[in-house]
Chain A
């Protein structure tokens, strides 16, 4: 089996008496979509923060491409190949769509210390940004102010910014949140193809999307992974049904 692109090893994080992550070990292999599901409060966001560098675990390690990145900050992990999208869009609202995508391209280039040439005049950055915007379907909105975008368009822009990074793995925090059924279906098809470029760790509430996309699913309850397996395995697991799926009927 191919070496995993990303793995966590016994991640544990406590907030006072609450154990938000309780020895979480999971991995994401090349070419796969690994979904993490769980009820609200299961610790999904805490897990993502520890993987992306926003939170330090109390115990446990995070490995990216075989390198221990536990001690690296968010920016260094991004440079090492993590491409993250946010549950609540984190975009520069005053700027244009193109400028937001160019920021990603600029980060990817690693050359922000240029004080004179026009950013939008940089052909390489611009080509990369426009290409990624076209892929998510925002080619007609390059110069729109981001604040004027619809919710769905902002979700698309989130994905486009992650694309500009050419990451080795995508970490997606509820990319379907707030999308209508049309939007979800479109994004599902998009992610389905995207896994060939880089594997995806997908935290998602939309079960249709998860069951359509995931190669493997991990179920997180009270900070613990209670099961990991294929969609069929997870669906037929009595424990998972009891802990999670059953509640949603």
Chain B
């Protein structure tokens, strides 16, 4: 057993190490693969705030991932086609600046999370799962029918968006941006879990009736957690679209929502680094086994089965015992 803190650092150092090695060995594809793992990890870290801390099994997090993706796609599309983006009376040129796109993605996905949360958090258990799923499907079918932005075919963006002072077309530099954002969000997530809000949210997941009895509202606590969670997953969606330079309705699909849950469960629900471990394993399996067989998901399923049956704390839970009372 190792202390969770060291495990967290080791996982991040490992990710960085792989990218640096690939940079030195001139393996751009490996850097891109690592970047993909980092971005999926970020999306799953977002989900873990709702799922791990708040106990909210959301089968609709693809909504936020997709909104982030389309925020990037739409803003960049208008610059690429030299057509202004008209929202009511306002007309803007679009944007190819990553920070602007990120903020838009975060704003849109938190707003969506607020609306979805307000409605779905009135239910719990299977009903909550079904309502979030239904929202996901609504967004998915809307995107398919939205021909202005490619409909089912999606949108291709030819040039990756820019970040001041960096050349984002160089894989290692784009990796650096994604990795830095992941570290930042992990840091925030860690602080959040230990904060007064985290303490109350943690209790609201376990015994909502107790939280009410001390004068707090479990509904509001979970709603705020859901919004933060959606914002993080939305940011990941914008990065994912930039990685592929492509957005399509599949970013809204319920399979994606399901995959995010799988990443969190593989790594360890409620564990800070759990989603990162899950994402790395997922991308590694996808790459290594995906080259051998199209049916690589079978192996993923087997691993998931073993984890759920024998290691409820996920891989992180196997490697490191949870410390208690250090809040």
The residues of A with any CB-CB pair to B shorter than 8 Å are 52-54, 73-76, 78-79, 84, 86, 90-96, 98-100, 102-104, 106-108, 110-120, 122, 125, 142-145, 161, 164-165
Contact = CB atoms under 8 A, between A and B. Distances in A.
B174 to A, nearest CB: 29
B197 A92 contact: no
A28 B292 CA distance: 75
Contact of A98 (B196, B221, B325): B325
Contacts of A90: 207, 209-210, 213
Contact of B324 (A52, A91, A104, A145): A145
A79 B215 CA distance: 5
Interface residues of B, number: 28
Contacts of A79: 215
B82 to A, nearest CB: 42
Interface of chain B, main secondary structure: helix
B200 interface: yes
B94 interface: no
A91 B210 CA distance: 7
A94 B215 contact: no
B233 to A, nearest CB: 18
A96 B323 CA distance: 10
B212 interface: yes
Given A112-B197, A119-B327, A122-B196, A92 B210 contact: yes
A76 to B, nearest CB: 8
Interface of B: 191-192, 194-200, 202-203, 206-207, 209-217, 221, 224, 324-327
A99 B192 CA distance: 15
A89 B210 CA distance: 9
3 A-B pairs closest in CB distance: A107-B214, A96-B325, A78-B215
A114 B203 contact: no
B225 to A, nearest CB: 10
- Looking at A79, A92, A120, the one whose CB has the most chain B CB atoms below 10 A away is A92
Contacts of A112: 196-197, 200, 216, 221
Contacts of B194: 118-120
Nearest to A112: B200
Nearest to B194: A118
A161 B216 CA distance: 14
B191 A116 contact: yes
B191 A103 contact: no
Contact of B199 (A75, A84, A103): A103
A164 B209 CA distance: 17
Contacts of A106: 196, 199-200, 214, 216
B323 to A, nearest CB: 10
A118 B214 contact: no
Contacts of A73: 212
Contacts of B215: 75-76, 78-79, 107-108, 110, 165
24 contacts: A74-B212, A74-B213, A75-B217, A86-B213, A90-B207, A90-B213, A91-B207, A92-B206, A92-B207, A94-B206, A96-B325, A99-B202, A99-B327, A103-B214, A104-B214, A108-B215, A112-B200, A114-B197, A115-B191, A115-B192, A115-B197, A119-B195, A119-B199, A165-B214
Nearest to B327: A120
B324 to A, nearest CB: 5
A142 B325 contact: yes
Contacts of A53: 212
A92 B213 CA distance: 13
Contacts of A99: 199, 202-203, 325, 327
A116 B217 CA distance: 20
Given A74-B209, A75-B212, 4 more contacts: A76-B215, A78-B212, A78-B215, A119-B199
A64 to B, nearest CB: 13
B281 to A, nearest CB: 25
A14 to B, nearest CB: 23
A72 to B, nearest CB: 11
A92 B202 contact: yes
A108 to B, nearest CB: 7
A110 B326 CA distance: 23
Nearest to B221: A112
Contact of A107 (B195, B202, B216, B224): B216
Nearest to A53: B212
A110 B195 CA distance: 14
B327 A118 contact: yes
Contacts of A98: 325
B210 A75 contact: no
Contact of B203 (A92, A116, A118, A165): A92
B199 A102 contact: yes
B123 to A, nearest CB: 18
- Looking at B195, B215, B224, B327, the one whose CB has the most chain A CB atoms below 10 A away is B215
A164 B199 CA distance: 15
